[in-house]
Structure 1
Amino acid sequence: MKGLKPTLLALCVAGVPPAAMAEIQMLDEAAMGDITGQAGVTIELETQVNIDRLTYTDQGSLEVNDIFVGGTNRTDLFSEMRLNLTGRPANTLLDNIRIDIDVLSDGDAVINFQPQDLAFIDLGIRTGAWNLVGQTDTTTIMDNFRMDALVGSGTLWVDTATDKLNFITDFAIDDMDFDVPFLAIGIRDFELTGSGYDLNAPRALDLFARVNMDIYKAPNHAGVDSLAVDLQSFEADIRIGGILVGGTSIGSIAMDNLAITNTSMLIYGH
């Protein structure tokens, strides 16, 4: 790669008029240090994603149909708070997102995403049928998936000292529904909040559950490099309004102060 640099420089200089050459001065390393790393990059984002079909193929295939990722098109998320927590009119855009990207002096890369204003990011995800497809048979393992959620903030931090990606985010699910046709099961009104959230005295500061995980490379039991995921902490309250079996509700479930910690996972091919 070093051999390319003089060639590229020569091509650039060749296009400069002679009069302008007189104004060009070489910068020493100290001067170069003064003009680099002074500021990061900020991106303001709004988007909507539609995918007709996503297919993962091994010997057979897993198909996920009719994928939508965008806004919830609602202003009544967590209605017990009696506030429009998105701060914006209802729409189908994933918006109100600010992404700050910085490279620190030690080489670490930090990406922060958060709302642009004093509100939260609403996230809507919808899918159609999830099908397992073989050479002769097909089974629908999930259908009619719908999730309306809020995201408070998040951070991606690549640590050059440990070669780890740390991911932290705060989120809450107002409503999630889906069916599992091959088991005749349906889930309705799934809600996830922070472990300190009280439905009778709701506070925005208690609303979000936090996920903290490290993602990196590590050997598996055979010494082969694998994708490692360590869940450092996750605490939440979970409520399921209805569990359907054969289309009939068999009741509801509530889990208070669910805590998952010190959990590790290795992912690799076989």
Structure 2
Amino acid sequence: MKGLKPTLLALFVSGVPTLTFADSGFQPLDEAFMGNITGQAGVTIELETKLNIDRFIYTDEGSLEVNDIFVGGANRTDMFSEMGLNMNGAATDRLDNVRINIDVARDGDAIINLLPLAFNAVDFSVSTGAWNLIGSGGSTTILDNFKMDALIGSGTIRIDTATDKLNFKTDIAIDDMDFDVPFLALGIRDLEVTGADYDLQAPQPLRVFAPVELYIYKATNSQGVQSLAVDLQTFEADVRIGGVIVGGTSIGSLALDNLAISNTSMRIYGH
């Protein structure tokens, strides 16, 4: 109920006749006074949530459906067990330990910072059921049993009024990802993504995160049509796959050391 009090107060004040304020000695705030209170602290949101969607459907001529979507906490205290860390001592299935700071700078830029409430990373989990392609010719399951447990070290969104670009930065580490690709008889187990300098033999917590930076904005495509543009500025990571399964049998593991993706641009539009 505390969150309702400012709203109720505002409604009450807005309904009081102007004459009452005049008789009581209240005066409206002038522009000079309002100028003196600019530059104050922005808005902070403390977030705790989890999300379930029974089915997501995208339809063109046929449809793609994604079943049993879950986004929440990893419900684990043993993420990256080689470091011997206790993830805040409390495992839940809620996306929590999240603080979002929102500010508008003097130049008009919007700045949104994602931070942990405690000095810790934010753990999260995403899982889905079957991803099905459905059309007049039948249906095919292209992905199933997807589950990812990961950590976010930080996140920043900045909307720049000078360039009309959204800049997104984050630091992410995937502790475990599993999924099946049924129509190819392929399965991936224990996929892990860490920073490029993370060493399993001498692990350091601050090196576990892989940096990601994106610019998202409006730009023309090769046909001169306005499109959604996504530029990947930075992605550097080590990738390890514990098991690759083909036809129900493991054929071994894979590792990519010092994977670096840069100078990558996408233009997204309808056709």
Please say whether Structure 1 and Structure 2 have the same fold, judged by a TM-score greater than 0.5: yes
Indicate how the Cα distance of structure 1 residues 32 and 131 shifts in structure 2: closer, same or farther if over 3 A, else same. Answer: same
The whole-number CA distance in structure 1 between the counterparts of 2:14 and 2:72 is 47
Counting only pairs closer than 5 Å after superposition, residues 108-123 of structure 1 correspond to structure 2 as 108-123=109-124
Shift in alpha-carbon separation, 1:13–1:229, aligned structure 2, 3 A: closer
Aligned AA for 1:79?
A: S
Q: Does 1:169 align with 2:177?
A: no
| Distance in 2 between residues matched to 1:132 and 1:169, nearest whole Å | 32
Letter aligned with residue 170 of structure 2: T
Q: CA separation in 2, counterparts of 1:53 and 1:91?
A: 24
Question: d(CA) in 2 for partners of 1:245 and 1:42?
Answer: 48
Counterpart of 1:216? 217
Identity %: 66
Which residue of the partner structure matches residue 69 of structure 1? 71
Residue in 1 that maps onto 2:29: 27
Q: What does residue 100 of structure 1 align with?
A: 101
Give matches, 1:37-186, under 5 Å: 37-84=39-86, 86-186=87-187
Give the secondary structure class of the aligned counterpart of 1:117. Answer: coil
**1:14 and 1:190, CA in 2 relative to 1: closer, same or farther beyond 3 A?**
closer
Q: Summarize deviations over 1:179-236 as a string: whole Å, max 9, x none.
A: 0000000000100000000000000010000001100000111211100001011100
TM normalised by structure 1 equals 0.92
Q: How does 1:227-266 map to 2 (within 5 A)?
A: 227-266=228-267
Q: Match for 2:250: what amino acid?
A: S
Aligned-residue CA RMSD (Å): 1.4
The one-letter amino acid paired with 1:119 is N
Give 3-state SS (helix, strand or coil) of 2:206's partner: helix
Q: Cα gap change, 1:14/1:193 in structure 2, threshold over 3 Å: closer, same or farther?
A: closer
> How many matched pairs?
258
Return the alpha-carbon distance in structure 2 between the equivalents of residues 29 and 232 of structure 1. 42
Task: Show structure 1 runs of 4+ deviating over 6 A.
Answer: none
Deviations 1:15-58 (A, max 9, x none): 32634224232433222212334120000001010000001111
Whole-Å separation in 1 of the counterparts to 2:203 and 2:101: 30
Q: Secondary structure at the match of 1:205?
A: helix
3-state SS of 2:262 partner? strand
Deviating more after overlay: 121-130 vs 18-27: 18-27
Superposed CA offset, 1:134-163 (max 9, x none): 024000000000101011010000000000
Which letter maps to 2:30? D
Shift of 1:13: 7.3
SS of equivalent residue, structure 1 residue 21: helix
Secondary structure in structure 1 of the residue aligned to 2:34: helix
Does the 8 Å contact 2:21/2:27 carry over to 1?
Answer: no
**Matched residues in 1 for 2:15 and 2:214: separation?**
50
- Report SS of the residue matched to 1:176: strand
Residue aligned with 1:63, SS: strand
CA contact (8 A) 2:210 2:235 kept: yes
Structure 2 regions of 5+ residues with no counterpart? 1-12
TM-score by length of 2: 0.92
- The letter of the residue matching 1:83 is L
